[in-house]
Chain A
Amino acid sequence: MSAADLTRSTAADLAHRLTTGEVSSVEVTQAHLDRIAAVDGDVHAFLHVSENALETARQVDADRAAGQALPELAGVPIAIKDVLCTIDMPSTSGSKILEGWIPPYDATVVARLRAARMVPLGKTNMDEFAMGSSTEHSAYGPTRNPWDLERIPGGSGGGSAAAVAAFEAPVALGSDTGGSIRQPGAVTGTVGVKPTYGGVSRYGAIALASSLDQVGPVSRTVLDAALVHDVIGGHDPRDATSIPDQWPSMAEAARRGLTGDVLKGIRVGVVKELEGEGFQSGVKQRYHETLDLLAAAGAEIVEVSCPHFEYAVAAYYLILPAEASSNLAKFDSVRFGMRANVTGTVEDVMAATREAGFGPEVKRRIILGTYALSAGYYDAYYGSAQKVRTLIQQDFDAAFEKADILVSPSAPTTAFKFGEKLEDPLAMYLNDVTTIPANLAGVPGMGLPMGLAPEDGLPTGLQLMAPARHDARLYEAGAAIEQLLEGNWGHALWSQAPELGANGLATALGSNGGAR
């Protein structure tokens, strides 16, 4: 296989070829490192590329040659969002305050990747402490969207999504507090899953908002996301919010979706409140075409109403800053990270360090959170937001009485241009209007490609949501919907991404791709 074939293969396909001995992990890993060297100057998906990747791959090849039984994804490379602690690579969460920090332990999900003998390629870019929807708030400069280098790749996990969309990695890890996996998936034409809250360990994930954060897979296909989910998921005694239940195999669910007739009779709930005003016309068009395809495949389309979703963004921008202001208190210039070179008491040094080390969005949210938690304001803001959370959970409960899965667009628009929303925090916050309800209620959500918007030729995304603990239902239905859409287009959406040239120009392949 050529290097280009290797980088355009799915993780499932690479795993199969590695098992049969057709390719080695060193060849697969080298192909991806070469691809990173060729295109990442333009894309800037990575903050750090691992020096150990080839050695890790070599060990997998040696163990395979020695006849050891290896896990399914052994030897398959993976990119890791910089919010996750890695013992052998800097972990900055996109912030200056953690520049160069190497944690003394691995996040549980990273330890599980290593136990599964996957090959970490490096750390991906993100908005600082995962606060943002565009990567423009990264202290290390933005990531560029492989579909159009003048546009944002979504956020906060724009680095992981762009790495996968630009064929720099077959799969990646992300984290999703209000849409940071699913919204980047939508605007880069890739797949991403926010698992049920507590389904995947948060131990070693640098906390943003502890009651909302979830780690999840990023990929080009639903099956690949499922394979990674099976590796990272399950109970972790180190995370007090980790659900102790046994989970079914997500990969088996995805494979059922690809082979069975799972769409016949499935009740698909269309959330009335998640379309209409503020949604781009091409997004709405592809969404309704997809619903028509689902109906033709035997799905029962039902309209559901979630009247409190319109309060979700407001509740989220109280709960998140409140929790973040507490979580980020640990960056105190004492135990790790940056210390400003000033004289004075420890509190003076602390305040100067946090002034110099945090970017504008982080300061904005810490101050907002401090306000929301202040005596005299707590009940009016934070307390009220927690009540909205209850109302949104009740909306979901009622909707899931009528439907097996809920759907909406993953994001209201396609990728916007750099700078377009940077000076208007409220406009930026509205990017997550579709994704935030799932975080507030703890239910799982998946984003998958839904075709290219006719007006700009850029990717759109479909969001699926299932009841808490029913992540497998998303993979089963998601794989079937992906297959239905690709059958209609005649190709996978990601195969239509423009070539990235060595000279920094993205050259369109001349296809409009997507649904026609």
Chain B
Amino acid sequence: MSEITPERVAHLAMLARIALTDDEIEKLTGELGAIVDSVAKVQEVATPEVAATSHPIPLTGGMRPDVPGQTLTTEQALAGAPDHDGSRFRVTAILGEEQ
């Protein structure tokens, strides 16, 4: 059986920065438990001598000439922002009171 408990789901949600409701945590605990039990099947054949593949087509990174490319203007970069002051993104406080 999997180790998916409501406490673990709440912790993962905190790590992923999603403010799940208690109902969502309860529902996800059951669903994720079933999914994790199912996908754990990969361990049956993932023996130590098998190499891991991270990308399907191996490529080595190329270098481009060190010259400025086309980039977004400040105005373009801010165009989709929920809030800004004309040159910077504006957000609420970075630190809470207790910090």
Contact = CB atoms under 8 A, between A and B. Distances in A.
A101 B61 contact: no
**Could you tell me the dominant secondary structure of chain A's interface residues?**
helix
Interface in B73-99: 76-77, 79-83, 89, 91-96
Nearest to A331: B17
Nearest to A197: B56
A386 B53 contact: yes
Contacts of B17: 329, 332, 347, 350-351, 354
A367 B13 contact: yes
Interface residues of B, number: 57
Name the interface size band of chain A. Answer: 35 or more
A164 interface: no
A466 to B, nearest CB: 14
A366 B18 CA distance: 9
A339 B39 contact: no
Interface in A37-92: none
Contacts of A241: 55, 57, 59
A346 interface: yes
A308 B79 CA distance: 47
Given A241-B59, A335-B81, A364-B28, A325 B38 contact: no
A385 B42 contact: yes
B39 A318 contact: yes
A367 B16 contact: yes
A333 interface: yes
B1 interface: no
Nearest to B72: A104
Contacts of A196: 57
B50 A387 contact: yes
Interface centre among A105, A391, A440 (most CB of B within 10 A): A391
Interface stretch (A7-15, A132-140, A309-317): A309-317
A355 B20 contact: yes
Nearest to A380: B43
A389 interface: yes
A454 interface: no
B20 A363 contact: yes
Contacts of B36: 368, 371, 381
Contacts of B53: 386-387, 389-390, 393
A102 B93 contact: no
B92 A370 contact: no
B38 A314 contact: yes
B93 A367 contact: no
Given A241-B55, A354-B19, A368 B35 contact: yes
B56 A387 contact: no
A370 B16 contact: yes
Interface string B1-30: 000100011001111111111001000100
Contact of B45 (A325, A366, A387): A387
Contacts of B15: 370, 374
A381 B52 contact: no
A393 B56 contact: yes
B66 interface: no
A332 B47 CA distance: 38
A367 B9 contact: yes
Contacts of A336: 80-82
Interface of A: 101-105, 196-198, 211-212, 237, 240-241, 243-244, 308, 311, 314-315, 317-318, 325, 329, 332-339, 343-352, 354-355, 358, 360, 363-364, 366-368, 370-371, 374, 380-381, 383-391, 393, 425-426, 439-443, 468
Given A337-B80, A352-B19, A384-B42, 8 more contacts: A240-B61, A318-B39, A318-B42, A334-B91, A336-B82, A338-B82, A374-B15, A383-B52
9 contacts: A332-B17, A336-B81, A337-B80, A339-B82, A354-B16, A385-B39, A387-B50, A440-B56, A441-B56
9 closest pairs, A vs B, by CB? A442-B56, A384-B46, A336-B80, A339-B82, A386-B52, A387-B46, A104-B76, A351-B19, A355-B19
